[in-house]
Amino acid sequence: MVRGSPVDGDVNTQLKGWKLETPPGEHVTLCELLSHTAGTTVHGFPGYAAGEAVPGVVDVLAGHTPANTKAVVVDSKPGTIWRYSGGGYTAVQKLIGDVTGRPFADVLRDEVLHPAGMMRSSFAQPLDAALLATAAWPHDGSGKLVPGGPHTFQSWLLPVCGARQATCYATRSPCATVHAEKKAASLASRWRRQC
């Protein structure tokens, strides 16, 4: 997906229909978004319960109704601090769709999930009935099922099965493996530049 593309280029040059608001004279790179060093806002997303209006990804990024979070912007100098940002990863989601010209869930299925052998996993939102019947359902901090079951998200976060913000639905074993590997990579990137 990124082959042949610089990971240190300004992502706004490839985003279509929405641009990441940055401080004057600054730009954000894909590497900074992926390593949570872009200075982007919006830590996480509550999602949308069954029956609630679900905004498009541009509405989520811009903070427009019916989005239930503020706009994703850059509020600190890119590359200077590490701060987890689901908003930054949502910008990556938009970038992937814009660069490939394909739906985000299809790209992740074909390029990540299926090559990893995760054939019953999906980033599609909302989850279809066949996968929903076998999905790991979200639980709250006290271990109780989240009312209404899995929420629909227009933002994506890497698999955190059982967590409130999970947007990859999978069986617990492969999901836990992918999450553990991603967490280790994210922690490592705090100490050394990955790209």
Q: Please report, as a single letter, which amino acid is at residue 42.
A: V
Q: Kindly report the length of the chain.
A: 195
What is the arithmetic mean of pLDDT over 18-44? 95
pLDDT at position 165: 38
Tens-place pLDDT, residues 74-130: 999 999 999 999 999 999 999 999 999 999 999 999 998 899 998 888 888 887 888
Tens-place pLDDT, residues 150-161: 888 876 654 333
Give residue 139's pLDDT band: very low, low, confident or very high (50, 70, 90): confident
Give residue 27's pLDDT band: very low, low, confident or very high (50, 70, 90): very high
Q: Please report, as a single letter, which amino acid is at residue 47.
A: G
Bond prior to 66 in cis (omega within 30° of 0)? yes
Contacts from 176-182 at CB under 8 Å and sequence distance 24+? 178/116, 178/118, 182/158
Q: Mark 25-57 as b/e (b = at least 16 C-beta within 10 Å).
A: eebbbbbbbbbbbbbbbbebbebbeeeeebbeb
What is the arithmetic mean of pLDDT over 52-74? 94
CA–CA gap between residue 100 and residue 8 (Å, rounded)? 18
> Which one has a higher pLDDT value, 43 or 166?
43
Q: 18 pLDDT exceeds 80?
A: yes
Find where tokens 């029956």 sit: 51
Q: 163 pLDDT exceeds 90?
A: no
Are 157 and 86 in contact by the 8 Å Cβ rule? The answer is yes
